[in-house]
Amino acid sequence: MISRQGVLNLLYQPVWVFSICCAILAGRTANADEDTLRFCCSYQLSSALMAERVQSFTKSTGVKVDLIIVSSPMAYRYTIFGASDIGGLALRGPPPSRAGCEKFEVIPFCEDGISLIAHAKTAIESIPARRLRDLFSGEIKNWKELGGMDLPVVLVLPDRGTGAYRNFERMAMLGSEIAYDVMTKNSTMVIEIVKQLPGSVSFIGQGATVALHGIRTIRVNKQLPTDKRYPYRQTYYLVLPLEPRTPAKQFVDFVLSEAGTNIMKQRGMVPLPRKVHVP
């Protein structure tokens, strides 16, 4: 019998394989424990907030959570196809014209700055937005061109299918192509690469970098990702059926409670007023 991880790997194959895999997952999870919450979450959101929230939720309510971490588009698909009770993602999802999407609600619940991260020894404090585009287009080859040390620039990017890549491409690059030297399988892997590789630079939701050592956060237009005037902010979303199972409703209420929003603030994120949108 195919394993859960095996199904997860197959999801990166063509659409027809993806549809089969979703059917397998839906069949395997249909008889799951009614008290277990199935939560499919993006790498960024898991690292920034949800991994800790899941543990606290289980401790507080006794409800077990089956946490699956994938890219934002895959988290959306898992939920739409019934393999997950809730999806947590950094992208809003497909347009409402997509068949079946009208049966789900999308809750934008917080904003998080997209941090520009570099190796700890990169001697750059801030970069103008226009020069950031030059940097990630590959036009700037050496950090000395930005006033730093004589060291080659190494561009480390998350996979093109991740929410981090798509949001950065849209907000920072204004749709222009992004060059790269290293591309990782998921968004949070860039952190470990940047820690170890001198001259490297990348981007990730700032919530995922809280309390990390070995990396430098470079300001953009002299603003930190937690500053109000910072130019690049992505929104995190929860996606769930219009008529969710009880554990899913409990989890949403837990995340959006006063205690939950205080956790977001402590991590430099901005909670949003609760609004529901049909995707």
**Domains in the chain and their CATH numbers?**
4-111+234-271 (3.40.190.10), 114-220 (3.40.190.10)
Name the one residue in this structure whose structure tokens are 């790269």. 180
Q: What is the pLDDT of residue 3?
A: 42
Q: What is the number of H-type helices and E-type strands within the chain?
A: 10, 11
Q: What is the pLDDT of residue 156?
A: 98
pLDDT, tens digit, 9 for 90 and up, residues 95-128: 444 555 678 999 999 999 999 999 998 889 999 9
pTM of the model: 0.85
Beta strands per DSSP E along 58-214: 64-70, 86-89, 104-119, 126-127, 154-158, 182-184, 200-205
Helix 51-61 / helix 246-255 crossing angle, nearest 10 deg: 120
pLDDT band at residue 268 using 50, 70 and 90 as cut-offs: very high
Whether the per-residue pLDDT at 31 is higher than 70: the answer is no
